[in-house]
Every structure is written in C-alpha cells, then in structure tokens.
A and B are shown apart, each in its own frame.
Chain A
Amino acid sequence: MDLFEHQGKELFARYGLPVPTGEVALSPDEAVAAAARLGLPVVVKAQVHTGGRGKAGGVKVAADIDAVRGHAADILGLDISGHIVERLWIEQASDIAEEYYASFTLDRSARKHLGMLSAQGGVDIETVAARDPEAIARIHIDPVDGLSQPACRHWVRAARIPEDVADAVADALVTLYSAYVDADADLVEVNPLIVTSGGDVVLLDSKVTLDANSTFRHDDYAAYDATQTRDEREQAAHAKSLQYVGLDGTVGVIANGAGLAMSTVDVVNQVGGSAANFLDIGGGANAEVMAGALEVITNDPAVRAILINIFGGITRGEEVANGIIEATGRVDIDSPIVIRLDGTNAAEGLELLEPHLSDQLMMEPTMLDAARRAVELAAAGTPEVQP
C-alpha cells in the first residue's frame, strides 16, 4: 500500500520527525488559500504514487500568489508515468544547504532490515549506486535488537555525513527506524533528507509503502487504502477482497493461489492467447468468493472467455463447484467458462458440476487443455476487426 508524499510526512510528524509545514489542495483556489495561510514562498508538489515527479514538471517553487495559481493549474491533471495528478501538496519552501538520502526496507536475502544512507541525496539512488557504490552506506538491523544510537552514529559516519550534523542526522534516523517498524512499513525512503542553512535536519520528501497484512493492528490504514490508485476493474475486485491485476487480453483468469494464477496467465499467453487479468481467489475460497470473482471478470468488456483453474489444497472442490453454479445463476455471464478442477474434493466438485455443463460451461482435465480451450473460445468470440 503506497502513501502519498504528504501522508508519509504526516506519519513522520506523528513521531516528532521534522517535516515542512504544508496542506493538501485539490484545486488552484485551494492551493492559493493554502499558500496564503502558509506564507510565501511555497513549493507546489504533485501527489502521485510514482517517482520522477520533478523531471515531469510536477514540483515547482512559487514566490508569489499568481505563481501558486499558475503552477497548481499546470500540475493538476498532469500525466506522470500514467498517473494523473489529482491532488497537490503545498508546503513552505525550505532553504537547502545539504541533501542526503536515507531509507529502511526489508532485505529478504539477509532476512534483516536494511538501512541505506548516502551523503549524495536529491538524485535517484540507483544513479548513485551505479556511479559511486561506495557513496551508499548500508547497515543490516536485526529486528530483535532494533537500531541503537551508537550503531546509528557509526553508520552515519560511514556514509560520510559531515561531522557538525552527524549526531542530529543519526537521531532523526533512529526515530525514522521506529516509525518504519511501528507503522509496519515495507519501505520508508527520504530523498532528500536535508540540512538547512541554519543547520536544521528536515525530511523534505517521503516515500512510504505499508504492509497490507498489518491492517489488523493499524486502524488508520483504512484512510490510506481509500487513496490507492487502482483502475476500475481493480477497484471492484479490491472491494471484494480479491487479489486482482488488470491485463490487456481477452481470457479472464480465475485461479486459487498466487503461483497458480500467475502460471495460468503464463500458460494462456503461451498457447497463443492473452490473459485479461490475474485473479487469485486465495485459500479457502467459498461460493461467495467465486461468485464475486466471476462478477469482476464479467464486468471487463474485453473478456471473451473465462478460465477457472482450481487446484484444491485449502480450497475445497465442492465449494468451488457450488460457487460456480450459484454465480452462473446470479451473474449475467456472456462469455463461455472453461473449468479445470483438481485436488481436495475435486471428485465431489466435478459431480456437482456435471448436470450444469453446456456449451457455455465446460470442463477440461488439465491446465494446458483448459487454457487451449479457453483461448480457442476467446478467439471465436472476438469480433473481426473491419478493415
């Protein structure tokens, strides 16, 4: 779950971390009003879940009110790597003397948290890594111990942060690590972390990704969830708690388990078709979940055939069968459905499905056979393009 820059900064501020004061604006008028309250100059910043905002013209300094209005009007609606800007963050401009880079994330290979720090901030960290790998100081943090102040000070010096601000930077990083752990973040990245000409440490940007699995202990995540960027299909699937990723093809895919769903998409593409989506109904999927999945797939106008690929472990065959039967009665489905069902209670499921089979609902014994059939049906159901 990705946060907007301002949401990340608001999260940092709750831990007492120094961030510039600012306000959200959804229109040029709101931007002007915010700037009047904050005092000029301000920075007008596009709020999107993607990087490269500066290069795309999504971050601009405004010295007067006319400039605020002009920049806000320019930036709203801007397309930044496919993300349309719908909200702005107006913040007091900072007086930048030094720019650093800092981040915490989980290093899956080391199975420990990884801190990265560089005195060369304000530019893409991958560029720094390629140009001067020595300029990035890494620290592995055992989650049982956490990040101690002495370890952090040592790390800050390894990153060649100037001595006069080193301790202040280290203190901010110890707090930032607490925020990273408390918030169950997959990533917190601050680029740049600045020192002002007055010598103050300020977190000038934020990139925060939260672990959706930790929602049960974070009541405030619901608000972040509401601002995620999803296409219409993905939003509908999300509302039904389905793991869905929209693709560009004509075969709708429903499978249980992320691996099998990915593999089903692969096989559809390999036998000459194209998958319309990735959809994992998860473990223990019941009739309700299957019906919801079919609704989501059917709402995609590009879908010409549906492939349901279920291998039961925790998902039981008879539940899947009941779900399909119930959904076909409840949802208006134009596309033919091909089912492949195996695993736990597959025989019971197949027996339940048997009386319902038709040229709109068919079964195939293997994943490959089912994919081939669905691809054939999708091709037959796709209207010829008129020259």
Chain B
Amino acid sequence: MDENTRVVYQGLTGSQGRYYGLLNRDYGTQVVAGTNPRKAGTDVDGVPVFATVAEAAAATGATVSCVFIPAPGVPAAVLEAAEAQMELVVVITEGVPAHDEAFVFNKLQRDHPDVRLLGPNCPGIISPGRCNIGITAGHIALPGGPVGIVSRSGTLTYQALYELKQQNIGVTTCVGIGGDPVPGTSFIDCLAAFEADPETRAVMMIGEIGGSAEEEAAEFIAEHMTKPVAAYIAGVTAPPGKKMGHAGAIVSGGKGTAAAKMEALTQAGARVGQNPTEAGELMVDIVAGL
C-alpha cells in the first residue's frame, strides 16, 4: 500500500464517507471512486460515483475498497468488493453483528482467499506520508519508520501515533484491526507482515482486555519475531464481568485479564508499558538501540 494505491469508497455519498473520503484524498490517498447504486453518474467533490465496485474498478483501476456503509449493509458490501477482486477491504463501520462478521470472514476464506479484510469497527490503515485509508487523523503520524503499529483500539491507535510523534519516532504503517469479536485481520497477520517488511524494524502493539488474541500474538512473537516489540494493554484496572464498550472487551471467569496478557507478552520477550506514554518511552529505548 503506497501513494499509488487506488481506493474506492463504498458509501462515499454518506456524511461520514464523504467527510473521511475527502480527508483521505487531502492526505494524498488516490481516492478514485465512490459507489452508490442510486447515485451512479454523479460525483462527490469531483470523485466519480459508480453503481457497483466492479464498475468502479473497471473504470478507475481501484484495487482497495474502504467501506462506510451502515452496519446492516456491511456483509453485502464486503462480498461485493471481494467479487470485484479488491485486494484489501477496509471496513470502518461499527455495530456489525458478530454472526455477520463470522459469516463474512469464513465466506471470504473459502471463496476469496486472496482478499484481505480489515475491520469491521476499525480506524483503518495509514502509511504515513503516503496513503491514509480510514478515519485516522493523518497529521498525528510522523512518516518514515522504523516503527510499525498494530492496535485493537481505534482511539488508542491515535494515542500511540501521537506518543511516537512526541518522541520524534516515525511510523512505516499503522494498522487498526478493531475491537470486534471477529476481526478480518488479526494481530498475528500484522506482526507477520511487519516481520517481513524491511522498512519496519520495531513494532508497537496495543491490545485490550477480553478474548485471547493478545496471548496468541505473544506466542507468535516468541516463535517468529526477530524484531523488538513494545506493547500496551488497556483495561489494567477493569473490573471483571463488565463489558467495556467493545463487544470483545470483558474479563470473565478470570480469563482475558490485562495482567495475563501483559505476562504472556513479557514472557514472549516484548516490553510492556503500564500506560500508552510508558509504552512510547519503551519504544524510544528500543529505537535508540536499533
């Protein structure tokens, strides 16, 4: 993903789609098309609107889709993008039912294994200075590397970008995977990509309570990562049994606690901060030693 990546926005004609689509364009992203079957032939501030993703792709060469469609329409929108052979589908929409997410994930794996889904309920992906797809405030990210960021939480992703910028540390790519029960892209997918990316030399990982994604990531770090990892887990002081906003964020039956996740990551060789600022400081230390 770079400054030449051409992106179609499903839902560009809606208020959020329009606002962030045009912000992404201002950032430098190739926002080449929007879709809306009822508004085909019109344009959004000069960006042509097509009836379908397939038509948009044929006319503009788009290879990535960004979805701002309301939750009930998300499964159909993702499958439409996959059928139009998008390489990456980024779903910003929040509030998608977990059963829909599970269905779409498995459907893609079976029928469209080459399509990468990011989200739903995620802030998107930004390659600072090159391309911003989603709702990340681009100006808080310092281009250049050497750090890659992967985060389960939207606003904590921004917090991480901000902490690194305060420390004058650049970012190669920042991926928000979202806090929903069935994210299209996992921590491990991103860690593997960062391990393989020559420009990324260290990784910042931000998790939260609930589920076991962080523990699985820790296992991957221990076995496969040669690059250093700094981590932070939100919800250190969260009480058990209370769902903290995200569908996934709940400590129940002693499982999914921040303490267990931090322990697993520490055991795996990651350096774990108690808050985002501390994780940023650990990254300063890591980058100084690269």
Contact = CB atoms under 8 A, between A and B. Distances in A.
A310 to B, nearest CB: 8
Interface stretch (B30-38, B59-67, B210-218): B210-218
Contacts of B102: 106, 111-113, 143
Contacts of A186: 98
Interface of A: 106, 108-109, 111-113, 126, 142-144, 181, 184, 186, 211, 213-214, 216-217, 243, 245, 247, 255-263, 265-267, 269-270, 275, 278, 280, 282-284, 311-314, 342-344, 366-368
A270 B275 contact: yes
Interface string B183-225: 0000000000000000000000010110111001000000000
B245 A313 contact: no
A345 to B, nearest CB: 8
B156 A108 contact: no
Given A143-B103, A247-B239, A263-B275, A184 B246 contact: no
A211 B95 CA distance: 10
A255 B155 contact: yes
Contact of A313 (B136, B208, B232): B136
Contacts of A368: 275, 277
A343 B275 contact: no
A378 to B, nearest CB: 16
A108 B155 contact: no
B154 A283 contact: yes
Interface stretch (B40-48, B50-58, B104-112): B104-112
B155 A311 contact: yes
A213 B71 contact: yes
B16 A284 contact: yes
A262 B235 CA distance: 5
Interface stretch (B3-11, B82-90, B247-255, B264-272): B247-255
A303 B154 CA distance: 27
Nearest to B166: A366
CB-CB nearest 9 A-B residue pairs:
A259-B153, A258-B245, A257-B155, A260-B155, A259-B156, A214-B97, A262-B234, A280-B245, A344-B137
A260 B152 CA distance: 11
A184 B106 CA distance: 17
Contacts of A311: 155, 158-159, 162
A148 B39 CA distance: 42
A213 B245 CA distance: 12
A159 B211 CA distance: 26
A84 to B, nearest CB: 17
B20 A108 contact: no
A314 B107 CA distance: 29
B106 A258 contact: no
B275 A245 contact: no
A216 B94 CA distance: 13
A26 to B, nearest CB: 26
Contacts of B20: 314
B123 A313 contact: yes
A384 B253 CA distance: 37
A258 B122 CA distance: 12
B79 to A, nearest CB: 11
Interface in B92-142: 92, 94-99, 102-103, 105-107, 110, 123, 135-137, 140
A22 B248 CA distance: 34
Contact of A262 (B72, B162, B213, B249): B249
B261 to A, nearest CB: 13
Contacts of B99: 106, 143, 181, 184, 211, 214
B156 A257 contact: yes
A342 B160 CA distance: 12
A257 B152 CA distance: 11
B167 interface: no
A270 B279 CA distance: 14
A106 B20 CA distance: 32
A263 B156 contact: yes
Contacts of A367: 159, 275-277
A109 B123 CA distance: 22
27 contacts: A106-B102, A111-B182, A112-B106, A143-B99, A184-B98, A213-B71, A217-B72, A256-B155, A259-B153, A259-B206, A260-B154, A262-B249, A263-B232, A263-B235, A266-B235, A266-B275, A270-B274, A270-B275, A278-B242, A283-B135, A283-B154, A311-B155, A314-B16, A342-B158, A343-B155, A343-B158, A367-B275
B181 A108 contact: yes
Central interface residue in B136, B234, B248, B249, by most chain A CB within 10 Å: B234
Nearest to A246: B242
